Amino acid sequence: MTDLINAGLVRLDADLGSEKHEVIRALARIVGDADRAADVDQLIEDAFAREATSATGLPGGIAIPHCRTEGVTEPVLAFARLEPKVDFGAKDGPADLVFLICAPAGGGNTHLQLLTKLARALVKPAFTDSLRDAETPEQVAELVSDVVGTAPPAAPAPAASAPAAAAPAKRRSLVAVTACPTGIAHTYMAAEALEAAAERAGVDLAVETQGSAGAKPLAPATIAAAEAVIFAVDVGVRDRHRFAGKPLVSSGVKRPFDQADEMIAEALRYADDPNAPRVEGSGGSGGGSAGDGSGAATGGAGESWGGRTRRVLMTGVSYMIPFVAAGGLLIALSFLLGGYEIVGPYGDIAVNNSIFDLPDPEALGLEHALFGSGLAAYIGALFFIIGKTAFMLFIPALAGYIAYAIADRPGIAPGFVMGGLAGNIFNVQTSADPAVSMPVTGFIGAIIGGVLAGVVAHWIGGWKVPTWARGLMPVMVIPLFTSVIVGLLMIIVFGKPIAWLMEQLTEGLNSLSGGSAIILGVILGLMMAFDMGGPLNKVAYSFAAAGVGAAGAASDSPELKIMAAVMLAGMVPPIALALATVLRPRLFTSAEDENGKAGWALGLSFITEGAIPFAAADPFRVIPAIMLGSAVTGGLSMAMDVAVRAPHGGIFVLFAVHNILGYFIALIAGTVVGAVAVIVLKSIGRSPAHESADDRELATT
């Protein structure tokens, strides 16, 4: 394997630009000039994307921009000692020591382990001081090579496995998990910082690093012996049920860089506090719920209420969307095959006919069956049944996984029950004629029910129970008591008020016309473009998708018009940016030009996230521009009564669109407005970080 770093990849006392994107770009070019990058533009794009997720500046004047990328085939480091310093987002000021850490997207664990050794070394003052004192690039390369060429430091042995020693007092024991989205640098640096702090405090600490190099799970005996656990993570903890019942200190992965000593002290305090936050589930290593670990802790220190709310809602929505997309597309396909009249005789067709005994479309009144075909009518009826079934489950899925995000696996069952009550899937009704159904609270009831189920399940999970009862808690006690408590609350207390609210919302939608409908379309367009797949985007999408499930087959249903406005507005941002890269390529980097090519397909497929790389690199110009374009599209769509019966698919579900001409007029108008706005804003006060590929060539010749 080629050396991780050499003198050609080092720059000392160099001026690589005034802001971090310029420095990252310059370091990537150094990698390319050393013939260590297969695709410099891809490397830059991936490094920028990682930087957009969270700042890579660390205390002590250090920055470690890093990524996994197809732009390199072997791991490589580029280093610069900057003069002047550049701000990478650290709390204590700008950085003068910057490593660009590049790992191949498909690299093996051996490669990644080399990078983890460097990450651990960077939290040691002796190493960073030697980098500042180095006089030649060769010295820096040698220092780094010495660090990565040695065996990785072993975690301190837990107290449970240490031999008995003649000491006046037993050393206390903690465990920790560190993890970041990329799993290359912060994961291991946080572990090193916590281990150093534990050593200073005279505490045994075993750390499980859940990084890209793989994770060696902590032994069950080590977890059992620990008095408390620290989660320093920016992603879900794998198999977190192993730590169920342990006092918990929870934070982002960067907190240990500044406050490792405080976190160790906090964990020791929590270990002595019977009312301290704890990992959800029953106590005991290996006990509690057998969840997959993707849920998040509740009540732990370090997570803001805003962040917790966002995580909980996004978890529910993310699990809900596949039900909506699959169900909606199947229903749209059923209308294509069997005609809109299929909503009447689908049951008769499914029960009375088969593939060998096809229905007669004319006799069943299916005037719009595809080609008048009995086979099309039969398949359309089956698609309608499957699609409607998926749609019936999306409300329970929303509530179930909201509860899961709060209480982990014990919250799923009661959450699904609350979602079932919200949708009245049991079809509870009176015996009168006509029958009156139990109140349906819809997606609003699912959100409220899911939150209540999660909170109550988490509360019950914290009960002190005898050891023999711990195994019963997640599979019987928590689901039973939570379903009873929250179910009664939803039926007796919240059912009628929420149902009334849903009725008012439905009546309001049915009365929308003219200016009020256009204003709603504008608002939905702004929400779809603002965070491109984030919470506001998902709220608007969930609002529209829930309406599709309740709408009738008639094209003038207001819910179908709202779905059209949301879908079209969500398509605009990637397409508008793609168009802008074609019209004015000199305003964009070569990486953005490549993103623009992908933006056409992503936008036409209704994947708004295709705009994220542009927004991450230049948010104050890109986001207002695409919001303007999406607002225009949303308003025009509502003004022209465009409707769509499929909740996803973009241009590929034109068969489910009413007023195709209006559909394209709204889409094209918003795209043009968004592209022009991007070009205008980027042309005013143009940032050096977005110089074109041609400009960069001129600057280097």
* Cα–Cα distance for residue pair 417/445, rounded to 1 Å: 12
CB neighbours of residue 149 within 10 Å: 11
Indicate if 180 belongs to the active site.
yes
* Cα–Cα distance for residue pair 398/417, rounded to 1 Å: 11
H/E element holding 100? Answer: strand 95-104
Residue of 21, 66, 186, 690 with catalytic role: 66
* Pick from 322, 321, 343: nearest CA to 332: 343
Q: Which long-range contacts (CB under 8 A, 24 or more apart) does 476-483 make?
A: 478/407, 478/410, 478/411, 478/414, 479/410, 479/413, 479/414, 481/456, 482/410, 482/411, 482/414, 482/453, 482/456, 482/457, 483/413, 483/414, 483/417, 483/453
The b/e string for 161-180 (b: 16+ C-beta within 10 A; e otherwise) is eeeeeeeeeeebbbbbbbbb
Residue type, 490: M
Q: Which long-range contacts (CB under 8 A, 24 or more apart) does 126-135 make?
A: 128/60, 128/61, 128/62, 128/97, 131/79, 131/81, 131/97, 132/81, 132/96, 132/97, 134/12, 134/81, 135/12
Q: Are 409 and 289 in contact (CB under 8 A)?
A: yes
Residue type, 624: P
* Cα–Cα distance for residue pair 114/122, rounded to 1 Å: 13
For 56, the 3-state DSSP assignment is: coil
CB neighbours of residue 497 within 10 Å: 12
Residue of 21, 67, 102, 180 with catalytic role: 180
Helix, strand, coil percentages (3-state) for the chain, rounded to 5, are 60, 10, 30
Indicate if 458 belongs to the active site.
no
**Which residues fall within 8 angstroms of residue 85, CB to CB, at 6 or more apart?**
61, 93, 94, 95, 96
Q: Are 286 and 242 in contact (CB under 8 A)?
A: yes
* Cα–Cα distance for residue pair 369/185, rounded to 1 Å: 58
The answer to whether the peptide bond before residue 434 is cis (omega within 30 degrees of 0) is: yes
229-233/248-251 β-pairing:
parallel
DSSP string of 185-214, one letter each residue: SHHHHHHHHHHHHHHHHT-EEEEEE-BTTB
Burial of 625 (0-12, 13-18, 19+ CB in 10 A): buried
Question: Which residues carry out catalysis?
Answer: 66, 180
